Amino acid sequence: MKDYDVVNHSWGRKENFVKQLQNEKDQSIADQWLTDNYLSALKQGRNGLGTVIVNSAGNERMEGGNANYSYLTSAPYTVVVGAATLDDNHKTVIAPYSNAGASVLVSAHGSNVTTTSRRLINANGGTLGSDAASVNGTSYSAPIVTGIIALMLEANPNLGYRDVQEILSLTATSENVLTGDWQWNGDSTWNNGGRHVSHDFGYGLVDAKAAVRLAENWHLQSTYDNQTRLEHIYRSGKLDQQIDDNSGRQFSVTVNSSTLRVENVSVTVNLTHSRASDVALKLISPSGTESLLLNEAGKSQDNRRRQNL
């Protein structure tokens, strides 16, 4: 990937959550794959500015899928894209198949997308198929964002991959979007009022014109090498706390830095439970923004008890 300016990954794993939990060897392989491929692209791509990596969020929403549950769509190195659609009144809503997740950055329309297809001709001269097709899925919303990123890099080739992520998040819109668990985060650098964010849409529906215009006037250069990483510093230690049925536990970690501007947070949790599909896990920021990391994994949308957790 390091030889490309921007790459689109409209693919992912389709494997139930329990199997992923049980296969530690597979997780080790995944970690090594990320290191070998993603990190080399971020460090060496575009002469150190970083290859911009785009991943589709996935289409398993109704079966309990979530972008958080895959290493491909939960790593901070990628632009994770959800899919929007239009309802019967032509209003923008989240597509019924689009995976939610705290890692979703932005969304684009992914339903009824017209694309090129393949016309087949049999031995008798008959035809099958057509030159165009109407398709649905996050595999089609992600390439739209990839194309917008290409326009951004054309407008400003000096953008680091982290700049691209930030510009997309700053210019995404929630206007005329009818669904989504919208919150306002504590980002005081954006008009001193925070930014709208959702597990469904990320920071909102991508805005190509706004993203390109902001890219043209962007003067920062945020890369992998010039970011500050606080790794393995803040630990809770062994908590040894039991979670009773129909109840919860809350723990806090204090970060002693008044000047730290947080872009991404990665959380590693070790817990044992007889039914992983009954467990939900939230990360709550000092300003109250809630990131739902685990939400009764493996259960379908209709079978969750905590619909509004």
Say how many Å lie between the first and final Cα of the chain, rounded. 38
Q: How confident is the model at residue 204 (pLDDT cuts 50, 70, 90)?
A: very high
Q: What pLDDT score was predicted for residue 233?
A: 61
Q: What pLDDT score was predicted for residue 307?
A: 46
Q: What pLDDT score was predicted for residue 133?
A: 77
pLDDT at 98 over 80: yes
pLDDT at 106 over 90: yes
Q: How confident is the model at residue 250 (pLDDT cuts 50, 70, 90)?
A: confident
pLDDT at 304 over 80: no
pLDDT at 43 over 90: yes
Q: How confident is the model at residue 5 (pLDDT cuts 50, 70, 90)?
A: very high
The answer to whether residue 267 is domain-embedded is: no
Partners of residue 94 on adjacent β-strands: 84
The answer to whether residue 97 is domain-embedded is: yes
The answer to whether residue 192 is domain-embedded is: yes
The answer to whether residue 122 is domain-embedded is: no
Q: Which residue has the higher pLDDT, 230 or 286?
A: 286
Q: What is the arithmetic mean of pLDDT over 240-247?
A: 76
pLDDT single digits (tens) 17-41: 555 555 555 666 767 777 788 999 9
pLDDT single digits (tens) 47-77: 999 999 999 999 999 888 899 988 889 889 9
Q: What is the CATH number of the domain that holds 24?
A: 3.40.50.200
The answer to whether residue 279 is domain-embedded is: no
The answer to whether residue 229 is domain-embedded is: no
103: tokens are 């890692």
Phi, psi of 226 (to 5 degrees): -100, 10
Q: Which residue range is the domain that position 82 belongs to?
A: 6-116+134-222
pLDDT at 266 over 60: yes
Q: How far is CA 98 from CA 113, 122, 134, 183, 298, in A?
A: 15, 36, 17, 19, 15
The answer to whether residue 250 is domain-embedded is: no
Sequence-ordered list of residues with C-beta below 8 angstroms from that of 298, at least 6 positions apart, any chain? 16, 17, 18, 64, 276, 277
Question: Residue 217 has what DSSP assignment?
Answer: T
Domain count, the chain: 1
Q: What is the CA radius of gyration of the chain?
A: 20
The answer to whether residue 275 is domain-embedded is: no
